[in-house]
Amino acid sequence: MASVLIQNGSIVNADSTVHADLLIDGATIKEIRAGIPASAAQTVVDARGLLLLPGGIDAHTHLDMPFGGSKSADDFETGTRAAAIGGTTTIVDFAIQARGTKMRTALDTWWKKAEGKACIDYGLHMIVTDLPDAGLEDMDEMVREGVASFKLFMAYPNVLMVDDATIFKALRQTAKNGALICMHAENGSVIDVIVQQALAEGKTAPIYHSLTRPTVAEAEAVHRAIAMAEIAGVPIYIVHLSSEDALNQVREARDRGLPAFAETCPQYLLLSLEDVADIGWEGAKYVFTPPLRERRNQAKLWDGLRADHLQVVSTDHCPFCFADQKALGKDDFTKIPNGGPGIENRLQLLHHHGVGQGNFSINRFVELVSTAPARIFGMYPKKGVLAEGSDADLVLWDPAEDYTISAATHHMRVDYSMFEGFRVRGNARDVYSRGELIVSKGEFIGKPGRGNYLRRDARGGAWT
Ligand code: URP
Ligand code: ZN
Ligand code: ZN
């Protein structure tokens, strides 16, 4: 197996920054210390001026995801390639149990989607859409297969939404099998009434997607989800948290010592309702759920990241092309496929706006984009840290590179960027996955299909 010595870089982990050399032997990190001789490795890389970061972990992606007769535009090949170029070496995608079918069928389907395509390692969450009593054992079977987390929806009635009894049963089962419930927390029934009223009044433009989903509907669901987890005595993870109202619920729960975790996404930190208020049909590019919020929420989310009320930043990457897919909702915002692209830009945006603008340290950045998701989702210390024995998933990060985000140059298979024209300082230069150089000077040089399925450990949610 090849050995690589990376010299003269700054090795950044969530809890430290050290100037040392890092020796990769095969797929893992063999040694980290100052003064490892060049003779120790077949290849020597000079990382002077660069940071060595643990590879990014994006715990929320939707590749090749079916949606209303269409599917998300990136498959496991194009999506994971774009992720790697942006410095992400692991994703956790979502398999979806079709109603009335076994979770096993969904798992097999998603493995097939990834087979021969995934460019980086990937885990899977399971979206639970129905849970007869026998389904509780299916959950245990999934955990044995390394699916250590399940997503449930409190929104999208008649499609994905499950009732409180189902949620509570699933939560209680995780007390036995150690899995973590991830919650899409919005009050779908209330939202549906508001949506139907808007349509009846002829309000069909994309902006009404946002205007029909109040932040209180998110906060109420977050509160209810955490309350049910408290009764069941288990941890809970709120996905794609978007607003101050919802954040307050998580903060209060954590202040009471409850194991409530939450993620937010770059779109909620950097884009706002005000940005899309006057752009008409173009607003379809920003139709995702929860929707964009009033700008005043952004500072609260940054505060939440700083204070550890929010633990993770993921992308919720779920791309649909503007020209032909978002167009399905031209006359009715409820038919616009929900989701936006971002898998490639998460580290760039968080580094620039988080570290560069003084919101938090480089170590907290690493924690938010890699270490915390590794811990919470049962991948640590194999992933999420630069340490002896860990997988050699690492990014040589150039903190001084100036880069402008654009659909013209990005690698995601989608015809627009949510962050078009955003200028960032800091970018991934070289990326290693299990010791293999897969991105060199920003160019992907790995092979599709080299990514492995990750069997994740349960009880990651026990981490606080
Ligand atoms: O609009 C979104 N977020 N689409 C992806 C599905 C989900 O709810 O995460
Ligand atoms: Zn969701
Ligand atoms: Zn999602």
- Residue 263 near ligand 1, beta carbon < 6 Å: no
Q: How confident is the model at residue 463 (pLDDT cuts 50, 70, 90)?
A: low
Instruction: State the Cα–Cα distance between residues 172 and 228, nearest whole angstrom.
Output: 9
Residue 140 CA, ligand 2 centroid: distance in Å: 23
- Residue 318 near ligand 1, beta carbon < 6 Å: yes
Q: Which tokens belong to 167?
A: 């949620």
Q: Which tokens belong to 357?
A: 């603008």
- Residue 403 near ligand 1, beta carbon < 6 Å: no
Domains and CATH numbers, the chain: 55-376 (3.20.20.140)
Instruction: State the Cα–Cα distance between residues 426 and 428, nearest whole angstrom.
Output: 7
Instruction: State the Cα–Cα distance between residues 95 and 107, nearest whole angstrom.
Output: 6
Q: Residue type at 317? A: H
- The number of the ligand 1 atom at minimal distance from the alpha carbon of 155 is 8
Residue 130, pLDDT > 90, answer yes
Q: What is the mean pLDDT of residues 19-37?
A: 98
pLDDT of residue 197: 98
Residue range 408-422, pLDDT digits in tens: 999 999 999 999 999
- Closest by CA to 412, choosing from 122, 80, 55, is 80
- Contact in structure between 5 and 46 (CB atoms under 8 Å): no
Q: Which tokens belong to 157?
A: 């009635």
CA-proximal residue: ligand 1, atom 8 (nearest):
289
How many of the other CB atoms lie within 10 Å of CB of 111? Answer: 15
Residue range 418-449, pLDDT digits in tens: 999 999 999 999 999 999 999 999 999 999 99
Q: Which 3 state secondary structure label does DSSP give 81?
A: helix
Residue 114 CA, ligand 3 centroid: distance in Å: 18
Residue range 175-225, pLDDT digits in tens: 999 999 999 999 999 999 999 999 999 999 999 999 999 999 999 999 999
**Cα 368 to Cα 134, 198, 262, 290, distances in angstroms:** 36, 38, 11, 20
Ligand nearest to the CA of 239: 2
Q: What is the mean pLDDT of residues 292-313?
A: 98
- Contact in structure between 212 and 191 (CB atoms under 8 Å): yes
Q: How confident is the model at residue 400 (pLDDT cuts 50, 70, 90)?
A: very high
CA-proximal residue: ligand 1, atom 3 (nearest):
289
- Closest by CA to 17, choosing from 389, 364, 325, is 364
Residue 464, pLDDT > 80, answer no
**Ion ligand 3 — residues with CB < 5 Å:** 316
Q: How confident is the model at residue 348 (pLDDT cuts 50, 70, 90)?
A: very high
- Contact in structure between 243 and 289 (CB atoms under 8 Å): no
pLDDT of residue 163: 98
- Residue 339 near ligand 1, beta carbon < 6 Å: yes
- Residue 13 near ligand 1, beta carbon < 6 Å: no
Residue range 45-88, pLDDT digits in tens: 999 999 999 999 999 999 999 988 889 999 999 999 999 999 99
- Residue 288 near ligand 1, beta carbon < 6 Å: yes
Q: Which tokens belong to 296?
A: 């005043």
Ligand nearest to the CA of 59: 3
- The number of the ligand 1 atom at minimal distance from the alpha carbon of 62 is 5
pLDDT of residue 134: 85
- The number of the ligand 1 atom at minimal distance from the alpha carbon of 153 is 8
Residue 321, pLDDT > 90, answer yes
Which residues contact residue 59 at a Cβ distance below 8 angstroms, ignoring those fewer than 6 apart? 91, 92, 263, 312, 314, 373, 376, 377
Mutating to test ligand 1, I would choose from 58, 61, 62, 209 the residue with most ligand atoms within 8 A of its C-beta, which is: 62
Residue 393 CA, ligand 2 centroid: distance in Å: 28
- Contact in structure between 11 and 36 (CB atoms under 8 Å): no
Mutating to test ligand 1, I would choose from 58, 64, 240, 264 the residue with most ligand atoms within 8 A of its C-beta, which is: 240
Residue 164, pLDDT > 60, answer yes
Q: Where are the beta strands (DSSP E) in 116-216?
A: 121-127, 149-153, 180-184
Q: Which tokens belong to 310?
A: 């929010």
pLDDT of residue 133: 87
Residue range 7-16, pLDDT digits in tens: 999 999 999 9
Residue range 266-302, pLDDT digits in tens: 999 999 999 999 999 999 999 999 999 999 999 999 9
The dihedrals phi and psi of 363, each to the nearest 5 degrees, come to: -70, -40
Residue 462, pLDDT > 80, answer no
- Residue 272 near ligand 1, beta carbon < 6 Å: no
DSSP structure class, residue 295: T
Residue 6, pLDDT > 90, answer yes
Residue 364 CA, ligand 3 centroid: distance in Å: 23
Percent of the chain with pLDDT over 90: 97
Residue 206 CA, ligand 2 centroid: distance in Å: 18
pLDDT of residue 204: 98
- Closest by CA to 423, choosing from 341, 314, 345, 344, is 345
Residue 316 CA, ligand 3 centroid: distance in Å: 4
Residue 386, pLDDT > 80, answer yes
pLDDT of residue 410: 98
Residue range 212-265, pLDDT digits in tens: 999 999 999 999 999 999 999 999 999 999 999 999 999 999 999 999 999 999
